[in-house]
Chain A
């Protein structure tokens, strides 16, 4: 019984070693054709732009490279990285969250600011005049959505509402801007405060954007940085640099992002 169990354990160990060696070869065997991987953890508001940047980077960078994008609310990305989730590049929707990652030693300083964005009011497409401005949101009969507190778009929205002095209460606080956008587009919410980039049309959802009054325009900037533990630091640095190059800059502005 003992021998059989010991043999079983040895077999398991052998299988484990084989698997690890195989995985190691796969990862290192660039000449063998498997591409080098750059794992990018990016804010949900970058969803569409990052998809285009990913393709361009893969096409224009000489090495065989595979960019893998992990999209989530910036606060979720911070939590993932603090818990040791693997990533080579991180891009967040505000500097405060990046500062937390710098303070925790997760990313290499300094972070590169590569884009800006601002809040707009989003209303469902095909429903003109139901909501024409922020003041309409004080109507308790309307369904209003905001991002959750702690998520960059939620904190920006709270600041803008506080500055407006209006009595606006949310019916839902969504964990990231894309799920908020989806509920506005579905017509379940009458309005939501989202990023201007979410309503440019490139996002493929049926919403109309209404600009906030100039005194309430809340702007956020997007920093990107290389993760300190990255095993592909050189490639990660190139990706971060790439974000500020004219070709990537053009993609970002096509999606409505402002210059850094």
Chain B
């Protein structure tokens, strides 16, 4: 009961302050719609990037033995437990304008990642991709390797085996991983504000808008928070009913 109230009570508090009458006006406020649009774009981009990069990584971690694999696995999951603001600072030192890679990148191509939408996507991917990798690697470990072997002996190329046999088998976990990564990206705050800054319409995602609005216009902050709660709840309920049970 105590455990439940620790989780539920803050939500009740949020709802109790909901400015119901002004809600339509607040949700169509330009700041809110700009943050909403930016959050959707960047979180979907981060989920796509996490999938494109994360699935091959998960496959390597599951199927290839190499020295230092345990270390690599630990490094991959580090962003899940690292304070996001530390992640943001680390991204700055690596990819900032004066960063390890960022400085030569800016000199060679003129591309500067901080304070840009690309910077938001990168910060989101940094914190979100581990969720996908962990979900997919776990599923790959659970695949009956004899099925893959059978397909290979029947003449299927490794890529065909992965596409036709492995992928369908890990489908539910892959989908869950993608949705988890997307949801984590949607809620990202610390790495984003540290690495990408806070500018309405360019880098101010919904969590940043909540943070700024809390000190200025609390009703707006609560309105945005309600959207985030609604989205998160929908994601979790959908995941549970559609995929986790079947998986």
**Chain A interface (Cβ < 8 Å from any Cβ of B):** 73, 75-76, 78-79, 143, 145, 148-151, 170-175, 179, 183, 186-188
Contacts and interface: CB of A to CB of B under 8 A. Distances in A.
A170 B197 CA distance: 11
A120 B96 CA distance: 24
A73 B215 CA distance: 9
Contacts of A76: 214-215
Nearest to A77: B215
List the 8 closest A-B pairs by CB distance, nearest first. A172-B197, A75-B215, A150-B216, A187-B98, A171-B115, A79-B215, A76-B215, A188-B96
B140 interface: no
Nearest to B203: A172
B30 to A, nearest CB: 14
A75 B216 contact: yes
A99 to B, nearest CB: 16
B218 interface: yes
5 contacts: A143-B114, A173-B198, A179-B193, A188-B96, A188-B115
A200 B212 CA distance: 28
B184 interface: no
Given A79-B214, A79-B218, A143-B115, A171 B98 contact: no
Interface string B207-231: 0000110111010000000000000
Contacts of A151: 215
A48 B158 CA distance: 61
B124 to A, nearest CB: 17
Given A172-B115, A173-B198, A173-B212, 17 more contacts: A75-B216, A79-B218, A143-B97, A143-B112, A145-B197, A150-B212, A171-B197, A171-B202, A172-B197, A172-B198, A173-B200, A175-B193, A179-B193, A188-B97, A188-B98, A188-B114, A188-B115
Contacts, number: 57
Interface in B175-207: 193, 197-200, 202-203
Nearest to B213: A150
Nearest to B114: A188
Interface in B75-100: 92, 96-98
B197 to A, nearest CB: 3
Contacts of B215: 73, 75-76, 78-79, 150-151, 175
B198 A175 contact: yes
Given A76-B215, A78-B215, A187-B97, A174 B92 contact: no
B98 A186 contact: yes
A115 B63 CA distance: 65
A170 to B, nearest CB: 7
B191 to A, nearest CB: 14
Contact of B199 (A78, A170, A186, A187): A170
Given A174-B198, A188-B92, A188-B114, A148 B212 contact: yes
A245 to B, nearest CB: 31
Contacts of A150: 212, 215-216
Which of B92, B212, B216, B218: most chain A Cβ within 10 A? Answer: B212
Nearest to A183: B197
Contacts of B193: 175, 179
A171 B196 CA distance: 9
Contacts of B198: 148, 172-175
A173 B199 contact: yes
A148 B215 CA distance: 10
A179 B218 CA distance: 22
Contacts of B92: 186, 188
Contacts of B97: 143, 187-188
A139 B193 CA distance: 24
